[in-house]
Structure 1
Amino acid sequence: MPVEGITKTTKSKGVRMIRRHRSHTEGTHTDRPSMSRYRDDVETDGMPSALRDRLYDLFGQIEKEFDTLYTANITLQERVDALNEKIEVSSTSDKQLVDSQDTPDLGSKPKRSASQISQKIKTTYKVSTSKIVSSFRAPTSSFTYVRDYRGHRDGVWEVKVSKSDPHVIGTASADHTARLFSIETGICLLRYTGHQGSVNSIRFHPNKDLVLTGSGDERAHIWSSQVTLPTHGEVVKSHSSGEDDLDGSEKEEMMEDQDQVTDCVTQRSPLMELSGHVGVIIAADWMAEGTQAITASWDRTAILHDTESGEIINTLTGHDQELTEVEAHPSQRMAVTCSKDTTFRLWDFRAPAMLVNVFQGHTQPVTTAVFASNDRVISGSDDRRAKIWDLRNMRSPIATIQCDSAINRLSVCDATQIIAIPQDNRHVKLCDINGNRIGRLPRSSRQGHTRMVTSVSWAGDTSTNLFTCGFDRQVLGWQVWIQPKDKE
């Protein structure tokens, strides 16, 4: 219990609040707090430079204290998890011991005290229950780390896989850039630098070589994703600029990163700019047919845009607090928006009169909601719960997945219907579409994320089929293999 209390205090109310408030709007480096600014285009007029620098230093010390305390707490949490696993092993051993005992001679019917009878009933109940539970074994699975995708100089907010062939992954970062990487080689193919603030989301067009990004500069950009996959002979190393902004340890990390960063095409301006918001655009997505796009903002509204003309079709209002995410249905004219007001809304544009449904079930900000097959929606929240909803009966969720930490942008695999849930505690949990736990990606001092995992995305039939990104600037590729139960 003390461990969970510390986590809530230090992580959720401290580091999480500072990082999200700062990085979504500014995209500055993680060790330089900038609570005094809301966007990149707002300056601290009238404040002496010495005082401003002193404030930066103080906030830097505060965030480092949060990081230290959070790291210590995570270590304690891992010890607790290890102890729980030992308890489960011990419980299994006890069950086997009970199963191995001889069946008593029912003919003699020896007299037993009330306490003995009670203990016998409890033991029999435990054994029978264990046998029932063991019949619902989780499917065989394996999780293998494949490679990383380097280049970003600040936290990465989202990773997505393109729908067209050849498949590439796109990343959106607080360093004001978006990047496209080759899945098979890890090479950066294209770098987009058109935004003036943190790039908070990236989505690929359903059938064209176009990308949609949303940013803290209150704009959404549409730009071309046409790239040429280089051969091994075309790989040329390059060096990043701007190292003067980093301290010693971070420069060492950047030097290590440079060994795997290659020259790539840089795109500096969009094909189309979508405007209309008066606050940070936290996410943007294509509607099913690709001729429209929907954006979600901290100004508490979502806007439906015409992507060919850039005009505003409709402004969606109703949320009481800032929006945190937007996701469009892959084949129907529907979209969901999430908000800090603890709800998410389903917007149905198929009827002449737009229909709106409000989903209430979480107790803290809803950070993610995605569509799955069989008319289902999976939502995630800072309340450490992911909920599975049926669109045909939206009054209450049909299943709840309990997690260990706040949940970020999750993803559902189209082929296997496996849910990947990224969390603030650096772990990624895997469950089936009914909410049953499958496992979690391996994480250690040498492998996995070192800060909160912000987003995950499944790929199709590729050797690397799951991608994760986090505020540690890492983008990682995994091979996840799960054997169905009927093939055991």
Structure 2
Amino acid sequence: MGQKLRTALRGPPVFRDGSKFRLSRYLEGHKDGVWHVAADSARNICASASADQTARVWSLESGACLATYLGHTGSVNCVAISSTCAVNNSEGSGTAAGLLLATASGDESTHIWKVPSNNAPLEQNSSEEEEENHGGNRDPNNILGLEHNKRNNETNEKSDGHRIRVPVIRLTGHRAPVICCEWLAGGQQMVTASWDRTANIWDVEKGEVVNILSGHESELNHCSTHPNHKLVLTSSKDSTFRLWDFRESIQSVAVFQGHQDSVTSVSFNTDYRIVSSSDDATVKIWDLRNMRTPLATIRLSSPANRVAVSKTHAVVAIPQDNRHVRIYDLNGNRLPRMPNRRCHERMVTCCAWLDEHPTNNLLTSGFDRMVAAWKVNTTTSS
């Protein structure tokens, strides 16, 4: 299996740009580009998905890797943290103990997995032992796939945290890589988006598809869900995005053609406002009650990837192919630039807000294998 990668917890020098931005730390440990980052401010953690076929859960307080998921056989393209799966205090005092996550992968599956308690053993195996365990010699009560060899626990704890190999459940049914996954309101269902041009709605407990969302003419790039209602957004390389409404017994779908190129992401901001990003180097803000023209259009110098909209401030963070991250308000006005020389060295893939977090309120991920944590002043005044 090769030598385990040590996670370096590097706290970079503080850099200030008019007191607007401060780079707090890098989260390092992935062996390949990081496609996605998700945040949970209530638990003070984040999770990252990487082309190295793993997902990691991180403490935002210490920068330590709390858990590493190794159950996929393809690139991990997205990670989603369940907000409704409460932490069971009996499972340990750690902020991530009992946490339920989902990961979407190039192996055409989505896995639901759980972070174990702090007192659960850390997996540390030689390659021979790993082969034996993959051959089926597992404790049937050990559904998390934790392995009980305790060698080098101290070193492992500094690098990978808990190493989880077996999911609680696998969601299989797509015929191409799964590019994105999101929990629906209530936490009992999930939506997945795939390059097979469909999105699936799943009953997570049963592991069954309850609805197939078809109609896009090309591969899907992204999906998102409304935090309070059964509404789903999907975006595609066909330059459209769609709104799927499951609030009534008869579902409805609306198709929006507001971009000239692949739509890389689309997300809800409020009940009526959504934000879309595209390879046409624009980000657009829309009112669902009047979709004829966008409320605002943000024009960029490079394609935009998976944007993040703050839930408490009217601002959007835009990761770009050109290694830059830009912050705009929802009227299309740009805040002072984030410091390029302290940002990523390769394409920035995703952003995630942790609103009101005292130390880090913005996370960015990139193909330089890094997740960066920032403190951003989100006021729009100069």
TM range (shorter): 0.7 to 0.9
Write out per-residue CA displacement over residues 385-434 of structure 1, whole angstroms, 9 at most, x where no aligned residue.
00101011122211100011011000011111210000000000100122
Q: Would the aligned equivalents of 1:411 and 1:457 in 2 still touch at CA under 8 Å?
A: yes
Write out per-residue CA displacement over residues 339-369 of structure 1, whole angstroms, 9 at most, x where no aligned residue.
0000010101101111101111101100011
Match of 2:324 among 406, 409, 427: 427
Does 2:27 match 1:149?
A: yes
1:373, CA displacement in angstroms?
A: 2.0
Q: Would the aligned equivalents of 2:189 and 2:203 in 1 still touch at CA under 8 Å?
A: yes
Match of 2:343 among 433, 448, 455: 448
Match of 2:39 among 148, 156, 161: 161
Which has the larger share of strand? 2
- Cα distance in structure 2, aligned partners of 1:374 and 1:313: 25
Which has the larger share of helix? 1
Match of 1:410 among 288, 307, 310: 307
Residue in structure 1 matched with residue 111 of structure 2 by the alignment? 221
Structure with the larger RCO, 1 or 2 (CA within 8 Å, 6+ apart): 2
Does 2:361 match 1:465?
A: yes
Report the TM-score when normalising by structure 2.
Answer: 0.80
The 5 Å alignment of 1:295-374 reads: 295-373=192-270
Residue in structure 1 matched with residue 145 of structure 2 by the alignment? none
- Cα distance in structure 1, aligned partners of 2:39 and 2:207: 25
Q: Number of residue pairs matched? A: 320
Q: Would the aligned equivalents of 2:329 and 2:380 in 1 still touch at CA under 8 Å?
A: no
- Cα distance in structure 1, aligned partners of 2:116 and 2:284: 37
Q: Would the aligned equivalents of 1:141 and 1:482 in 2 still touch at CA under 8 Å?
A: no
Q: Would the aligned equivalents of 1:375 and 1:391 in 2 still touch at CA under 8 Å?
A: yes
Residue in structure 2 matched with residue 60 of structure 1 by the alignment? none
- Cα distance in structure 2, aligned partners of 1:374 and 1:432: 18
Write out per-residue CA displacement over residues 134-167 of structure 1, whole angstroms, 9 at most, x where no aligned residue.
xxxxxx861111000011000000001026x422
Q: Would the aligned equivalents of 1:427 and 1:440 in 2 still touch at CA under 8 Å?
A: no
Task: Sort the Cα spacing of 1:174 and 1:210 in 2 relative to 1 into closer, same or farther, 3 A.
Answer: same
Q: Secondary structure at the match of 1:439?
A: coil
Q: Would the aligned equivalents of 1:190 and 1:227 in 2 still touch at CA under 8 Å?
A: no
Structure whose CA Rg is larger: 1
Task: Sort the Cα spacing of 1:354 and 1:259 in 2 relative to 1 into closer, same or farther, 3 A.
Answer: closer
Letter in 2 for 1:225: V
- Cα distance in structure 2, aligned partners of 1:263 and 1:340: 35
Write out per-residue CA displacement over residues 194-232 of structure 1, whole angstroms, 9 at most, x where no aligned residue.
111000000111221210110000000111135649xxx
Write out per-residue CA displacement over residues 440-488 of structure 1, whole angstroms, 9 at most, x where no aligned residue.
21121xx210100000000133211100010110110000013365xx9
Residue in structure 2 matched with residue 212 of structure 1 by the alignment? 102
- Cα distance in structure 2, aligned partners of 1:197 and 1:358: 31
Q: Would the aligned equivalents of 1:410 and 1:422 in 2 still touch at CA under 8 Å?
A: yes
Q: Would the aligned equivalents of 1:335 and 1:348 in 2 still touch at CA under 8 Å?
A: yes
Letter in 2 for 1:427: H
Task: Sort the Cα spacing of 1:466 and 1:205 in 2 relative to 1 into closer, same or farther, 3 A.
Answer: same
- Cα distance in structure 1, aligned partners of 2:28 and 2:117: 18
Could you tell me which runs of 5 or more consecutive residues in structure 2 were left unpaired when the two chains were aligned.
Answer: 1-17, 86-98, 128-154
Quote the RMSD (CA, aligned, Å): 2.2
The 5 Å alignment of 1:183-262 reads: 183-208=60-85, 209-226=99-116, 228=118, 262=159
Residue in structure 2 matched with residue 287 of structure 1 by the alignment? 184
Residue in structure 2 matched with residue 180 of structure 1 by the alignment? 57
- Cα distance in structure 1, aligned partners of 2:166 and 2:157: 26
Task: Sort the Cα spacing of 1:349 and 1:299 in 2 relative to 1 into closer, same or farther, 3 A.
Answer: same
- Cα distance in structure 1, aligned partners of 2:375 and 2:264: 26
Letter in 2 for 1:306: D
- Cα distance in structure 1, aligned partners of 2:196 and 2:380: 44
1:178, CA displacement in angstroms?
A: 0.1
Q: Would the aligned equivalents of 2:306 and 2:351 in 1 still touch at CA under 8 Å?
A: yes
Q: Would the aligned equivalents of 1:150 and 1:261 in 2 still touch at CA under 8 Å?
A: no
Report the TM-score when normalising by structure 1.
Answer: 0.63
- Cα distance in structure 1, aligned partners of 2:353 and 2:169: 28
Could you tell me which runs of 5 or more consecutive residues in structure 1 were left unpaired when the two chains were aligned.
Answer: 1-139, 230-235, 242-257
What fraction of aligned residue pairs are identical, expressed as a percent?
45
Letter in 2 for 1:436: N
Q: Secondary structure at the match of 2:335?
A: strand
Match of 1:479 among 360, 372, 375: 375
